[in-house]
Structure 1
Amino acid sequence: MYKILPRSDGAVLGVEVSGTVTIEEEKELIDKANELVSKYGKASFLVVLGDHVGVSFEAAAADIKWIVTHMNKIARLAIVTDSKLLAALVDIDATFAKLAGISEKHFDSDELDQAWEWIEETMPTP
């Protein structure tokens, strides 16, 4: 399950994920991302991950497919989680994301305001 965070604005979409994301929910998120990309050319995403986050196989595959086909449309990606494992994975992924022109960064949950400030620094305008 997910909820759009109220600070989302312009080319920045903030999402809090908890529980399991279904393929239907993933499709909704992809539609929202496509709207931003269509309007702004590039978009940035802030994702807050709860403690027990899961994703269906179909949803994970749809997410990966969208990211791979839209890498040049992603400006920044902030992942907010207290999971040490996910933080390490974000750090590894950030190296590869940089090769695709994406700035990716991990923040702990107590750094949510800093994550918003970082993600909003380079908001594209229409």
Structure 2
Amino acid sequence: MYTILPLSRGSVLGIEINGKVDIAQERELVAKAEELIGEHGKISLLVVLGDHVGTSFEAAMADMKWMLANMKHLAKIAIVSDSKLLAALVAVDAAFAKLASIEEKHFDKADIETAWHWIES
């Protein structure tokens, strides 16, 4: 399940994910992102991940396909979680994202305000 965060505005889309995301929810998120791309050209994403996040295989594949097809429309991605493993994975992925001119950074949940400032700058 996901929630659009109330601080989302302009080209910044903030999403909180808790529980499992299914294909119908993935399609809703893709539609929202594509709407913003249509308005702004490039968008930034702030994704807050809960403790027990999951996704269906179909939704995960749709997400990866969309991300690969739309990298040129992504400016920044902020991942907010308390997972040290995820922080390490984002650090590695950030090097590859930089090759596509995407800034990517991990923030602890306690630093969510800093994450919003970074994503909006």
Q: TM-score range by the shorter chain?
A: over 0.9
Normalising by the residue count of structure 1, what TM-score does the alignment of the two structures yield? Answer: 0.95
Q: Which runs of 4+ in 1 moved over 4 A?
A: none
CA–CA distance in 1 between the matches of 2:26 and 2:87? 22
1:71-90 correspondence to structure 2 within 5 Å: 71-90=71-90
1:26 aligns with 2:26: yes
1:111-126 correspondence to structure 2 within 5 Å: 111-121=111-121
CA–CA distance in 1 between the matches of 2:13 and 2:85? 24
CA deviations on 1:102-121 (whole Å, 9 max, x unpaired) are 00000000000000000001
Gaps of 5+ in 2: none
1:1-126 correspondence to structure 2 within 5 Å: 1-121=1-121
Deviation at 1:38, TM superposition (A): 0.6
Q: Which secondary structure state, in structure 1, belongs to the residue aligned with residue 48 of structure 2?
A: strand
CA–CA distance in 1 between the matches of 2:90 and 2:54? 16
Give the percent of matched residue pairs that are identical in Structure 1 and Structure 2: 61
CA–CA distance in 1 between the matches of 2:6 and 2:58? 27
| Aligned twin of 1:124 | none
More strand by share: 2
CA deviations on 1:27-86 (whole Å, 9 max, x unpaired) are 000000000101100000000000110011011101100110000000000000001111
